[in-house]
Structure 1
Amino acid sequence: MDSTSAQPNRQFRARTVRCGLTAFAALASGLAQAQIASISAAQAPGMTLYGLIDTGVEYVSNVGSRKDSVVRMPSLTGSLPSRWGLRGIENLGGGLNSIFVLESGFAPSQGTLNQGGRLFGRQAYVGLFGPWGVVTVGRLYSQIYWSLIGDTLAPNIFGAGLLDTYLTAARVDNAIDYTFMLSGFTFGATYSFGRDAVAPAVAGGCAGESPADWRACKSMSAMLKYEAASWGVATAIDRNYGGGGAGSALPQSAQTDTRGVINGYVKFGTSTVGGGFLHRNNQGSANPSSNYWWLGATYLPQPQIALDVQYGRLTVKGSSTGASVIAARAMYMLSKRSSVYITAGRMFNQRDASFTIDGGAIGTVSLPSAGVNQTGALIGIRHKF
């Protein structure tokens, strides 16, 4: 976010007018979404290096069975996940362009790769775009990721998205994507032949492309979005098929994990209010049906100051494994590229739930005991190039 926009932070990855990244953001973080107009405006052939470094020092309470408090640097995200990448575009003539993006996520605290140690774990694709839309092939974001225009804190280390961490990292391998944009409407569809053979089974990994089972590890998603000058609304559906075997979230290929979401935002001057509702049916769970909703707002009292607040709640049918979270952030833009910020959040777990407030930790290192609430705070800095 910068002084020119109070739109939801997720638009950093979807529209060039969001988060002060102009044309580079559209090309750098997902040419398959609302970027057609932006790319056409840029028309700069060749290759571009881009990136973002965002980190700080965080405090987290009630970690583990001893309810320890920790002070450390996060690995996965601050206000936004750190990344660097290469993107290219070539004008082929006749309104046709070729494109590619290679994007790597890393932990500034250690200099190590995120996304399971992949070199280009955030995105890796090549494609074509023209008046008929965009087609890309490779490692891509699911359409449900692009649909979340009403999430005002998006991948902030503390936020409502912690109640469903799949949403901020909904990527699929071996995928093909088609996106078309016209008069404010965007339609997108993505299909994966085998969504993830790198992540471990316990983290949702699957066997990848299987010659023996046509359903195993497949993934599909579709989105319809409309955005006007002062408001937007989007809906999407995302389905993952099982087949990961014993120890995975969906052992059998006949099992599915399906999410449906509707969300949006409204702008009032320098303020933006965003919210949404998501229903999930996870056949790999003993309590498959759950509902998640969130509401948030962003306000710019001055061009260089941004204030964010968000609340989210998850309920699981027939179970006390839900939770609610409240989070806030204050950011000061030192320039168009550099910002400092402070952010904090509180997770309220139901009796049998152990959600963590810490979205910057890998694995289970920050989990509280079941039914224990948790507080987090972080002072951070980010620079984009």
Structure 2
Amino acid sequence: MKLRSTRLSRQLRRPLARCGLALAAMVVSSGTHAYDGGALAPGLTLYGLIDTGIEYVSNVGVQKSSAIRMPSLTSSYPSRWGLRGIEDLGGSYKSIVVLESGFSPSQGTANQNGRLFGRQAYVGLVGPWGAVSVGRLYSQIYYSLIGDTLGPNIFAAGLLDTYLSTARVDNAIDYNVTFSGFTVGATYSFGRDAVAPAAAGGCAGESPSDYRACKAISILVKYEAPTWGVAGAFDRNYGGGGAGSPLPKSSQTDTRRLINGYVKFGTATVGAGFLRRNNQGSVSAGISDATSDYWWIGANYLPIPQVSLDLQYGHLTVKASSTGASVIAARATYLLSKRSAVYVTAGRAFNQRDGSFTIDGGAAGTVSTPLPGVDQTGFLVGIRHKF
């Protein structure tokens, strides 16, 4: 499994889709990017990934029942489709556009609270000085996770902080530049989320009366060499979501500071990371100390080119409470081709006395949440195809 690359390096991936899917290009067709006789406009790429399977989860809810179902949010990766365009403007300048939609293959419905392009929607300009993009964008902390070997897998250490794999902000402007192995980036949101419900961290969007309400800022510094890499990130969300929100007041903040990295040994990669979080919303919930620590370590190994093996462990400690947990997860993938793969993955969450973390990252809301202090096991057999 490849570790996450920077957004700019992904602009040139994947070939043009065939004419049967060209109708999707009309969403962004205008001017010289016109729909023309069943082919995508020059410089515009349609891409995507469909990933699903059948999962088993134990100890669900009050009855501690078992569930067998298809996941809706993610399997080994979240399912998505998108349009990516890049145009050479001459003189080392390029324009870029990305529209990316997440969906549930089990139902054919849109994820990200029903947004058409909930994963990404931005336009930007690239030059010798870097890139500037505007729209709905990932926070820089997402791009810093080079040491997370399981990433958004349905069972992973990342379930101890689900924000990391879904850290996106609306109404945002982003700058990043890469030179001599270094990447530096910064993102600022004028109003981070007006679509998600307040209880899920949604905010009121851009506020004309409160300059701090619902703002967000993130910063990235990263260095990658052929056999190792290290990255650090700072991410802060301001409150202002009102009653029912984890951060009801704009004076409250939720701040994460992260450092992580990886080392390669032949066909093996070992990754690890540490995150310190200060969530002032937890004080409002009655916890005396707003600090928590999350760390993880994992590895990926390719015994042969067609087989990928992953193992990961993570632990969360919440200061002044017993609401933390540990997670162990594993995955074995067989590559049928460059585009198709089958896999099995499993995981177990070990909750502290008052912790109720679910091992199931594939279900929205509290569908799979166990009772406080109850451990949980998950298992999934899946298949994915990318185009």
1:50 aligns with 47
Q: Aligned partners of 2:12 and 2:382: how far apart in 1?
A: 23
How far off is 1:166 after superposition? 0.1
2:321 aligns with 319
1:222 aligns with 219
How far off is 1:46 after superposition? 1.9
Q: Aligned partners of 1:232 and 1:331: how far apart in 2?
A: 24
How far off is 1:282 after superposition? 0.2
1:71 aligns with 68
Matched, 1:120 2:117: yes
Equivalent residue letter for 2:13: A
1:379 aligns with 381
Asked if the contact 1:65/1:369 (under 8 Å) is kept, the reply is: yes
Matched, 1:231 2:228: yes
Q: 1:23 aligns with which of 13, 29, 36?
A: 13
2:188 aligns with 191
1:135 aligns with 132
Q: 1:203 aligns with which of 181, 200, 204?
A: 200
2:251 aligns with 254
2:102 aligns with 105
Equivalent residue letter for 1:258: T
1:367 aligns with 369
> Aligned in 2, Cα 1:244/1:232: closer, same or farther, shift over 3 Å?
same
Matched, 1:82 2:84: no
Asked if the contact 1:340/1:380 (under 8 Å) is kept, the reply is: yes
Equivalent residue letter for 1:275: A
Asked if the contact 2:157/2:313 (under 8 Å) is kept, the reply is: yes
Q: Aligned partners of 1:57 and 1:78: how far apart in 2?
A: 9
Q: Aligned partners of 1:260 and 1:251: how far apart in 2?
A: 22
Q: 1:292 aligns with which of 274, 294, 313?
A: 294
Asked if the contact 1:14/1:146 (under 8 Å) is kept, the reply is: no
Question: In the TM superposition, what whole-angstrom CA distance separates every residue of 1:176-212 from its partner, at most 9, and x where no partner exists?
Answer: 0000000000000000000000000000000000001
Secondary structure of the corresponding residue to residue 112 of structure 2: coil
Q: TM-score, normalised by structure 2?
A: 0.90
Secondary structure of the corresponding residue to residue 141 of structure 2: helix
2:278 aligns with 281
How far off is 1:22 after superposition? 7.3
Q: Aligned partners of 1:84 and 1:130: how far apart in 2?
A: 27
Secondary structure of the corresponding residue to residue 164 of structure 1: helix
How far off is 1:15 after superposition? 5.1
How far off is 1:13 after superposition? 6.3
How far off is 1:11 after superposition? 3.8
Equivalent residue letter for 2:323: T
Q: What is the count of residue pairs matched by the alignment?
A: 357
Question: In the TM superposition, what whole-angstrom CA distance separates every residue of 1:117-144 from its partner, at most 9, and x where no partner exists?
Answer: 0000000000000111010000000000
Equivalent residue letter for 1:183: S
Q: 1:61 aligns with which of 54, 58, 61?
A: 58
Equivalent residue letter for 1:227: E
Q: Aligned partners of 2:146 and 2:84: how far apart in 1?
A: 24
Q: Aligned partners of 1:120 and 1:196: how far apart in 2?
A: 14
Q: Aligned partners of 1:370 and 1:166: how far apart in 2?
A: 21
1:243 aligns with 240
Question: In the TM superposition, what whole-angstrom CA distance separates every residue of 1:295-343 from its partner, at most 9, and x where no partner exists?
Answer: 0000000000000000000001111000000000000000000000000
Asked if the contact 2:6/2:143 (under 8 Å) is kept, the reply is: no
Equivalent residue letter for 1:187: V
CA-based RMSD = 1.5
Q: Aligned partners of 1:87 and 1:127: how far apart in 2?
A: 12
1:266 aligns with 263
Q: 2:209 aligns with which of 209, 212, 222?
A: 212
Equivalent residue letter for 1:172: V
Q: Aligned partners of 1:275 and 1:308: how far apart in 2?
A: 13
Secondary structure of the corresponding residue to residue 368 of structure 1: coil
Asked if the contact 1:45/1:89 (under 8 Å) is kept, the reply is: no
Q: 1:157 aligns with which of 123, 129, 154?
A: 154
Gaps of 5+ in 2: 16-40
Secondary structure of the corresponding residue to residue 165 of structure 2: helix
1:35 aligns with none
Q: Aligned partners of 2:332 and 2:362: how far apart in 1?
A: 18
Q: Aligned partners of 1:339 and 1:80: how far apart in 2?
A: 12
Larger Rg: 2
How far off is 1:24 after superposition? 3.5
Q: TM-score, normalised by structure 1?
A: 0.91
2:347 aligns with 345
Asked if the contact 1:125/1:136 (under 8 Å) is kept, the reply is: yes
Asked if the contact 1:45/1:91 (under 8 Å) is kept, the reply is: no
Secondary structure of the corresponding residue to residue 115 of structure 1: coil
Gaps of 5+ in 1: 2-6, 26-43
